[in-house]
Structure 1
Amino acid sequence: MVNSVATRLSSLAMTTSIVQMYNTMFNSVATRLSSLAMTTSSTSPIPEHLLLIFPFPKPTALLNALSTRHPYLKITYVELTRDCTKDLTNQPQVPDSLFADATILVTLFSFPSTPALAKNLKFIHLISTGSNQVQNKRIWKETDVVITTNSGIHSPMISEWVVLQMLTHSHKQKLLLEWQKEHFWGPHAAVQERSDYVGQRIGVLGYGSIGRQGL
């Protein structure tokens, strides 16, 4: 059942910017689900409860398609508003009762307060790169529940942002945009001295997913 759900998550294509983020994230979740290698009878699948707790709008079309294809999969979606003025250890939480029969939890910062409240939980996937927000939780310290992250998912965006900032700086793009907003034709001398990166060498400190993507 879980492997089948994983395949479906990977195959769903979505097009808007917020939905592209979901698509990338669900592909990562799908890969993790497949790695659990959980086998069930095709004629009598074991019911699974997928609990998603996100600080994002509900992807209704995706979840409806998933429910249609997998009627034995129970899906619960909870949207929480993250308070960016607080750290991840002090965020809004959901009622503990929601975790009672969940078998798969996909979240950012919401976890059962005690392992006893989530006895059926097999797998937790964090939509963050790191796992610091769960490392002080009992579900991390006292259980063998599989916990995975989205490590590597941000590499293309951050690498592209670095290149963007390099070009923006060397071609004085920020100054030109300010002039554009002001409807001002600035002096040529202010933008005359520019440089490009042809033939230059870039040093990459650290060879993690971002460093590899940049190369």
Structure 2
Amino acid sequence: MRVAIAEDSVILRDGLVSLLTRRGFEVAVAVGDGDALVRAITSSAAADELPDVVVADVRMPPTHTDEGLRAVLALRDAHPTLPVLLFSQYVETRYAARLLAGDPRGVGYLLKDRVADVRDFVEALTRVADGQTVLDPEVVAQLMRASARPAALDSLTPREGEVLDLMAQGRSNGAIAETLFLSYGAVEKNVAQIFTKLGLEQDPADHRRVLAVLRYLDGR
């Protein structure tokens, strides 16, 4: 089985190459960002040598937000039956939902922790290559919770969703600005828009940031 890997961490990328090679896989591509992945697969397609499955991290350079996701979505647009397995450090339901919005066959989404269980990871990779859909149990649980969330959350822009996601991870506005490469003022504007869209009016008795995160996590 020919595998293409996109992971910006050199240690993890080399570890995946070693792990898969020892188990009889052929690693045809091993790159560190989404653009390089698309270029490599495009070249392979031109030579009629598409990989059997693509493994990619969701967050890669330059912004470490959704480059891996966007890369595999572009590849699936060009090659709808190309199997892809995404993995992420955290459960990011909106990214999983975007990945599954089209044909879910040959699609996988795992947490990085699952890679540590070699047998489960190899099994998941094989199942995705065979056209099956493989989702991390925690991803499934959070997708189910997300489906019950109010329409107000659906009104958030992708950027506001990213800001709220980082708020839910306990990040300060300063940390969010650094992570998303935004100005502090831009983050404050996004947070204010989140409060408005979620109907969280300023009240001395309430902590709107906590309420917004609870709304996000619990769908209430």
Category of TM-score, reference length = shorter chain: 0.3 to 0.5
> When the two structures are superposed, what TM-score results if normalisation uses the length of structure 1?
0.34
In our comparison, the structure showing a higher alpha carbon Rg is: 1
> When the two structures are superposed, what TM-score results if normalisation uses the length of structure 2?
0.33
